[in-house]
């Protein structure tokens, strides 16, 4: 066990990050330039060896991570295992097992105009990349993109969130153990560090965080025409229709909402429930809360509930609740807030409306508004009137209805009779759409995000362009026209 001790109250303070001086980061960025060129020719075996080294170093500090997570946000060991280590290990396993195949140039079939030549897509590293991460799943959100970036052959500058300093420190120790700084450099800090990094001409920026900061990242990237992946957030709606299995839906949604105390980008934000099953569903939600977290009176001290990351966010949630109550919302269960302890009881809210801040802002905490509906078309219209969410969940026994809801709405990802699990299906692209993000990650999609898909055409003996060269005699014109006319033939 390391020197990291569980200090029970240290997480309660808003952390003032020690910012890294801009010149230090510029030097590190410049030092990565030769390595980025060398990595263009690195093999799958070299990249896999680094990922394995990272895995060994991370697992060697498993116990220290338990302590660090407890210190920063009182995350239980079970959630550290299931929501931090598991996705990272799975991302590693996926890359280790598939990288050789992902790196193989893909030949594409010829089209009429390329007959006689060979055409390939070659996955080339983007070069020097920047990864900026949030605090809610700090290890997962730092290491998963790092694995994809390494798999794709890039150098990386990684900046974790300033809000989980103990976990960030530990990750920094591991990065320094595993990587030479010319391949992966790690800088802690907050807004100033981020802003200074964003001024550098990276080849790609992978940002995970809020839509508001995502816009700043995109504007900074535009200065250098740097490509970006933005993994953002938003209000992910859930629909429970009148045909749904209410017990299954409630147990699944209460799990999805309250794991990490709702501080999950794809947590069900609010639930539209059909009037016919609303009472039954609420009862099932109450039963699920008791099953997972015991009697209401004991929930504020339940060790399985992660705390809110700091007092500022606890106050934000308290303000959202007060605003909703002032405007007529009713607390079904929960509602207790302890700012000093960074704790909010699992809360179900009824009687919410669109004027309340809680229905306008991403909640990102353990408060679940339940909205009654009787016309599914109105719910679809409401979802379509809002910014496109990161996820959307439908609970229904009517397959056609579920398919209709998915077809008539848009979101980064979606699940039917399930929530959040699309995130751990490593063969699905994970990401948002417009306000909830740009681009995607995980498995091959993560490798692709950090690669440039380079088109390489190698000429053969037959050279079609000769037919298109001047002088444009009448004969030549007739020939060109005949070739152009072949474009009307059906595709092969």
Give φ, ψ of 210 to 5 degrees. -80, 155
Which of 54, 139, 142, 265 contacts ligand NAD by CB under 6 A?
265
Q: List the interface residues with ligand NAD, window 103-142 (CB under 6 A).
A: 132-136, 141
Q: Which part of the chain contacts ligand NAD (CB under 6 A), choosing from 84-92, 95-103, 208-216, 246-254?
A: 208-216
361 is catalytic: no
265 is catalytic: yes
Shortest reach from residue 431's CB to ligand NAD, in Å:
7
Q: Is the peptide bond before 471 cis (omega within 30 degrees of 0)?
A: yes
Please tell me the count of residues contacting ligand NAD according to CB under 6 A.
27
Q: Which part of the chain contacts ligand NAD (CB under 6 A), choosing from 116-124, 188-196, 330-338, 450-458?
A: 188-196
Two tokens, residue 456: 């390489």
The residue among 240, 236, 235, 202 whose CA lies nearest residue 221 is 202
The residue (of 162 and 242) whose beta carbon lies closer to ligand NAD is 162
Two tokens, residue 100: 């050789």
Which of 190, 286, 332, 434 contacts ligand NAD by CB under 6 A?
190
Q: Where are the alpha helices (DSSP H) in 346-469?
A: 376-385, 399-408, 443-449
Given a contact cutoff of 8 angstroms between Cβ atoms, the answer to whether 365 and 317 are in contact is yes
Give φ, ψ of 92 to 5 degrees. -65, -50
Q: Does residue number 302 form part of the binding site for ligand NAD (CB under 6 A)? A: no
Shortest reach from residue 330's CB to ligand NAD, in Å:
27
For the beta sheet containing 106-107, the strands, ordered from the edge strand earlier in sequence to the opposite edge, are 106-107, 118-125, 451-458
Given a contact cutoff of 8 angstroms between Cβ atoms, the answer to whether 367 and 269 are in contact is no
The residue among 193, 213, 192, 166 whose CA lies nearest residue 69 is 166
The residue (of 91 and 251) whose beta carbon lies closer to ligand NAD is 91
Query: Partners of 231 in the beta sheet?
Result: 208, 437
The residue among 149, 39, 174 whose CA lies nearest residue 99 is 149
Q: Which residue is nearest to ligand NAD (CB)?
A: 233
Catalytic residue among 91, 188, 231, 341: 231
Query: Partners of 229 in the beta sheet?
Result: 206
The residue (of 217 and 337) whose beta carbon lies closer to ligand NAD is 217
Shortest reach from residue 222's CB to ligand NAD, in Å:
14
Q: List the interface residues with ligand NAD, window 148-187 (CB under 6 A).
A: 159, 161-162
Catalytic residue among 265, 285, 415, 419: 265
Q: What is the CA radius of gyration of the chain?
A: 26
Shortest reach from residue 135's CB to ligand NAD, in Å:
5
Q: List the interface residues with ligand NAD, window 215-234 (CB under 6 A).
A: 216, 231-233
The residue (of 191 and 427) whose beta carbon lies closer to ligand NAD is 191
Per the listing, tokens 């995502």 go with 214
The residue (of 127 and 233) whose beta carbon lies closer to ligand NAD is 233
Label residue 176 exposed, middle or buried (CB < 10 Å: 0-12, 13-18, 19+): middle
* Interaction pattern, residues 424-463, with ligand NAD; x per rule: CB under 6 A: --------x----x--------------------------
In whole angstroms, what is the distance from residue 370 CA to residue 392 CA?
A: 15
Ordered DSSP codes for 212-236: HHHHHHHHHHHHHT-EEEEE-----
The residue (of 136 and 411) whose beta carbon lies closer to ligand NAD is 136
Binding-site ranges for ligand NAD (CB under 6 A):
132-136, 141, 159, 161-162, 190-191, 194-195, 208-210, 213, 216, 231-233, 265, 362, 364, 390, 432, 437
What residues are labeled active site? 231, 265
């Amino acid at each position: 066990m390391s020197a990291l001790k569980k200090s029970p109250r240290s997480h309660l303070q808003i952390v003032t990050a020690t910012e890294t001086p801009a010149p230090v980061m510029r030097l590190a960025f410049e030092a990565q330039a030769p390595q980025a060129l060398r990595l263009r020719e690195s093999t799958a075996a070299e990249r896999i060896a680094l990922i394995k080294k990272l895995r060994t170093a991370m697992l060697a500090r498993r116990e220290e991570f338990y302590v660090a997570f407890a210190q920063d946000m009182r995350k239980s060991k079970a959630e550290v295992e299931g929501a931090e280590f598991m996705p990272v290990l799975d991302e590693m396993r996926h890359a280790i097992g598939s990288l050789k195949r992902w790196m193989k140039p893909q030949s594409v079939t010829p089209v009429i105009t390329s007959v006689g030549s060979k055409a390939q897509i070659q996955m080339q590293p983007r070069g020097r990349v920047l990864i900026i991460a949030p605090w809610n799943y700090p290890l997962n959100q730092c290491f998963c993109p790092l694995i994809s970036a390494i798999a794709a052959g890039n150098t990386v500058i990684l900046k974790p969130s300033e809000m989980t300093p103990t976990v960030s420190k530990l990750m920094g120790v591991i990065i320094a153990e595993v990587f030479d700084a010319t391949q992966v450099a790690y800088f802690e800090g907050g807004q100033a560090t981020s802003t200074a990094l964003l001024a550098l001409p990276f080849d790609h920026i992978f940002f995970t965080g809020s839509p508001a900061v995502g816009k700043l990242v995109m504007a900074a990237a535009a200065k250098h025409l740097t490509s970006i992946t933005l993994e953002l957030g938003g209000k992910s709606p859930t629909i429970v229709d009148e045909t749904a299995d209410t017990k299954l839906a409630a147990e699944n949604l209460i799990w999805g909402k309250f794991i990490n105390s709702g501080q999950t980008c794809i947590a069900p934000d609010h639930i539209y429930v059909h009037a016919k099953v609303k009472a039954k569903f609420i009862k099932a939600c109450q039963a699920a809360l008791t099953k997972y977290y015991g009697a209401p009176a004991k929930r504020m001290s339940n060790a399985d509930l992660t705390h809110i990351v700091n007092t500022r966010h606890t106050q934000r949630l308290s303000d959202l609740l007060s605003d909703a109550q002032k405007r007529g919302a009713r607390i079904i269960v929960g509602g207790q807030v302890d700012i000093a302890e960074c704790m909010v009881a699992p809360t179900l809210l009824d009687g919410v409306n669109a004027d309340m801040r809680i229905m306008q802002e991403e909640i990102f905490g353990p408060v679940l508004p339940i909205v009654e509906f009787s016309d599914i078309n109105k719910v679809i219209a409401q979802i379509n009137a809002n910014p496109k969410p990161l996820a959307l969940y439908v609970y229904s026994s009517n397959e056609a209805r579920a398919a209709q809801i998915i077809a008539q709405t848009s979101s980064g990802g979606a699940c039917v009779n399930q929530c959040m699990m699309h995130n751990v299906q490593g063969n699905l692209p994970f990401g948002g759409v417009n306000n909830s993000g740009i681009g995607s990650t995980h498995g091959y999609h993560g490798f692709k995000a950090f690669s440039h898909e380079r088109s390489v055409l190698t000429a053969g003996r037959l050279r079609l362009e000769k037919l298109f060269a001047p002088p444009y005699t009448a004969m030549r014109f007739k020939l060109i026209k005949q070739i152009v006319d072949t474009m009307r033939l059906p595709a092969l």
